[in-house]
Amino acid sequence: MAVDLQQLNDIHRLENEVDQARAGVKAFIDSRISLIEGLAEYQALEDARAALEAAKAKFKIAVRDNRDVAKLDVEIAEARFDLRDLREILSNTLVLYTQQTGKVVIKERDRTRQIELRARISKRLLGTGTAAAGHQSTPRGALPDP
């Protein structure tokens, strides 16, 4: 029993020492932070950060209000839409080609390329009045339902 009491006393003493050591480390860290924040270079860095944030905000407003950029954004969106359409058309054409010819390669003058067909399940439900045969992507396509 005396051993247990001694061990408990040692544990309590060590816990106090750990708490004191932890407080000492925290005090050193706080002193370090205070010294760093007192450096002229630190203040210059903080000023530069503030200036950068202000410049970013001005830049975003300038981009948003620029008519040429807005016009290009519209043109980019239209071009992306057209590109998606062209890819879908190419995909459907490749699927049709493989169904009609049974070939999975396209021979060109200087090379032969393989057609890669992939299928993916549509998120739309069949039988609900919506046409959903799956998604087709280029140059891979999904085989339509027979």
Q: Decide if pLDDT at 143 tops 50.
A: no
What pLDDT, in 10s, does the model give residues 12-69? 999 999 999 999 999 999 999 999 999 999 999 999 999 999 999 999 999 999 999 9
The one-letter code for the residue type at 36 is I
Question: What's the pTM?
Answer: 0.50
Q: How many residues does the chain have?
A: 146
Residues in contact with 125: Cβ distance below 8 Å, sequence separation at least 6, in sequence order: 132
Instruction: Report how far residue 97's alpha carbon sits from residue 90's, in angstroms, rounded to the nearest whole number.
Output: 10
Helix, strand, coil in percent for the chain, rounding step 5: 65, 5, 30
pLDDT in tens, 73-131: 999 999 999 999 999 999 999 999 999 998 888 888 888 888 888 877 778 777 665 54
